[in-house]
Amino acid sequence: MLVGVPREIFPGERRVALVPAVIPNLKKAGLEVIIEAGAGVEAGYPDSEYTVKGGTIAAERTEVFRTADIIVQVLSYGSNDVTGKQDLPLLRKGQALIGFLRPLGDVPTVQAIATTGVTSFSVELMPRTTRAQSMDALSSMGTICGYKAVLLAADTLPRLFPMLMTAAGTITPARVLIMGAGVAGLQAIATARRLGAVVSAYDLRPAVKEQVHSLGGRFVELAIEAKDAQDAGGYAKAQDESFYQKQRELLGQVVAQHDVVITAAVVPGKKSPVLVTKEMVAAMAPGSVIVDLAAERGGNCELTRTGERVVEHGVSIIGSINLASTVPYHASQMYARNLTNFLLNMVKDGQLKLNMDDEIVRSTLVTEGGEIVNSRVREFFSLPALVTQS
Ligand SMILES: NC(=O)c1ccc[n+]([C@@H]2O[C@H](COP(=O)([O-])OP(=O)(O)OC[C@H]3O[C@@H](n4cnc5c(N)ncnc54)[C@H](O)[C@@H]3O)[C@@H](O)[C@H]2O)c1
């Protein structure tokens, strides 16, 4: 079978779905790889490296889609809501598609993917099990975003991060608050600590406290308790408005005491909860920085503008999206390893075998034979259950 790697077409995207180093592993399993010319260049992987590892270069994008049995992408239509639509006519029935599809985005988009007949898999729907950990692209990209968010904050803050004792006096360390200590938040804690900041973190899931401590962070406890803070999959559950209101009241004082706030609190498929209001921003010291990693889904800060940097009340609010793409070499390497593990789990004797008893396959398969077949996606959009659904 042939795995095709088209060049990413989301504006500014620099990642590539497969890196040369994974090709030998795929070949061992009976998979050949065809790469659109230049697909890896921006990530630091020239065409020549792919050919050395046994890949074939296609001069035309259409050739990749026409010849490949499996198309692998970073941002497929859905998560690529700018230019992704142009790939739809290139997809065909029976072909497989793997990538970020934003399956809980909107029905018409997922339905449009289904209508091509393609058998699509969304990496966002990877179950959070030990076996699936090596395939978990959300965690890989979260790690990179958490790291990069701290670097952006450090670069923007008019203060130093570490404590320094110099002949010119003692410099006090920056105080950094991380809100939402999931994968990205935990990486942000670790990175800010390495730069010498004093780090506190808050999350509504009490289970996180120990992880924050183990990274040298202080855990902020609020006098409110979330109801059923996490679902069976380990994700935070949406809370009612009275919870969020109380949370904001209590967080106000905490935010004002920090120089940097990095927000990374998301609830899958939902608009991000507002944790930092405009009043809280106004109460921060001038020169403070907020990096809102939830900007893509509305933002955790009321004043965030998606994709932009703004200064409000003297506070810089960074709402960059697609931060993982700004570290394209390692983001691509991690993503390629995730995809390779995912593919190898499904390929038997050089053929794609969909074992619906495998939770990894069942959870990630979104469309097949013209239909949206994923039960979580159907439930989310209140679509009637499919009769053939397993
Ligand atoms: N394979 C696996 O076992 C696996 C894989 C990935 C993640 N995980 C675990 O799942 C958990 C969530 O990880 P994630 O990074 O994907 O989460 P995420 O990106 O979905 O959310 C980020 C964090 O924001 C928090 N949050 C949401 N709403 C909030 C609010 N109103 N106030 C404060 N915090 C709020 C969440 O609790 C979460 O910790 C982590 O504990 C992680 O270790 C397990």
For the chain, the helix, strand and coil percentages under 3-state DSSP, each to the nearest 5? 40, 20, 45
Residues with catalytic roles:
128, 133, 136, 139, 235
CA-closest candidate to residue 101, choices 73, 78, 80: 78
Confidence (pLDDT) at 166: 97
Q: How far is the CA of 182 from the centre of ligand 1 (A)?
A: 4
The residue nearest atom 12 of ligand 1, judged by CA position, is 182
Residue 90 amino acid letter: L
Collect all residues with Cβ–Cβ distance below 8 Å to 387 and sequence separation of at least 6: none
Ligand 1, from 123, 124, 126, 128: best to mutate by most atoms within 8 Å of Cβ?
A: 128
The residue nearest atom 27 of ligand 1, judged by CA position, is: 265
Helix (H) or strand (E) holding 56: strand 56-58
Distance 53 CA to ligand 1 centre (A): 37
* Phi-psi domain of 48 (left: phi exceeds 0; alpha: psi -120 through 50; beta: other): alpha
Q: What is the distance in A from the centroid of ligand 1 to the CA of 185?
A: 8
pLDDT attached to residue 37: 98
Q: How far is the CA of 337 from the centre of ligand 1 (A)?
A: 22
Q: Give the residue whose CA is nearest to atom 41 of ligand 1.
A: 182
Q: Please state, as a whole number, how many other Cβ atoms lie within 10 Å of the Cβ of residue 133.
A: 13
Q: Tell the residue nearest (CA) to atom 4 of ligand 1.
A: 128
Residue nearest to atom 10 of ligand 1 (CA): 234
Residue 227 makes CB contacts below 8 A (sequence gap 6+) with 237, 239, 243
What confidence score (pLDDT) does residue 41 get?
Answer: 98
Q: Ligand 1 centre and the CA of 286: distance in Å? A: 30
Mean pLDDT of 188-194: 98
More confident residue, 37 or 252: 37
Euclidean distance between CA atoms 296 and 275, whole angstroms: 15
Mutate to test the pocket of ligand 1, among 123, 205, 263 (most ligand atoms within 8 A of CB): 205
Cα-to-centroid distance, 371 and ligand 1 (Å) = 30
pLDDT tens, residue by residue, 159-187: 999 999 999 999 999 999 999 999 999 99
- Contacts of 9-13 with CB under 8 Å at 24 or more apart are 9/80, 9/83, 9/84, 9/86, 9/87, 10/74, 10/75, 10/79, 10/80, 10/82, 10/83, 10/84, 10/322, 11/82, 11/83, 12/322, 12/325, 13/74, 13/75, 13/80, 13/322, 13/325
Distance 133 CA to ligand 1 centre (A): 14
Element (H, E) at 4: strand 2-5
Which residues have CB under 6 Å of ligand 1? 128-129, 132-133, 136, 138-139, 142, 179-185, 202-205, 208, 234-236, 264-268, 273, 275
- Dump pLDDT digits (tens) for 302-356: 999 999 999 999 999 999 999 999 999 999 999 999 999 999 999 998 899 999 9
Buried b (16+ CB within 10 A) or exposed e, 85-110: eebeebbeeebbbbbbbbbbbeeebb
- Per-residue DSSP letters for 211-261? HHHHTTPEEPP-S---TT-B-TTSPBPP--HHHHHHHHHHHHHHHHT-SEE
Residue indicated by tokens 């990630």:
364
Predicted local distance difference test score (pLDDT) of residue 127: 96
Model pLDDT for residues 214-273, shown as the tens digit of each residue: 999 999 988 877 777 777 777 777 788 888 888 888 899 899 999 999 999 988 778 899
Predicted local confidence at residue 331, as pLDDT: 98
Q: What is the rounded distance in angstroms from the CA atom of residue 278 to the CA atom of residue 155?
A: 23
Residue 127 near residue 138 (C-beta atoms within 8 A): no
Best substitution site from 235, 243, 263, 280 to test ligand 1's pocket, by max atoms within 8 Å of Cβ? Answer: 235
Output the pLDDT for position 132: 98
Distant-in-sequence, close-in-space partners of 226: CB < 8 Å, separation ≥ 6: 204, 205, 236, 237, 239, 243
CA separation for the pair 42, 7 (Å, rounded): 10
* Average pLDDT rounded to a whole number, residues 364-389: 91
Atom of ligand 1 nearest to the CA of 180: 24
8 A C-beta contact, residue 385 and residue 378: yes
Q: Ligand 1: which atom is nearest the Cα of residue 138?
A: 16
Could you tell me what percent of the chain has a pLDDT over 90? 86
> Which amino acid does the sequence have at 320?
S
Exposed (0-12), middle (13-18) or buried (19+): which is 298, by Cβ within 10 Å?
middle
pTM, full prediction: 0.93
pLDDT at 144: 98
Given the CA of residue 229, which atom of ligand 1 is nearest to it? 37
Cα 196 to Cα 16, 200, 217, distances in angstroms: 33, 13, 11
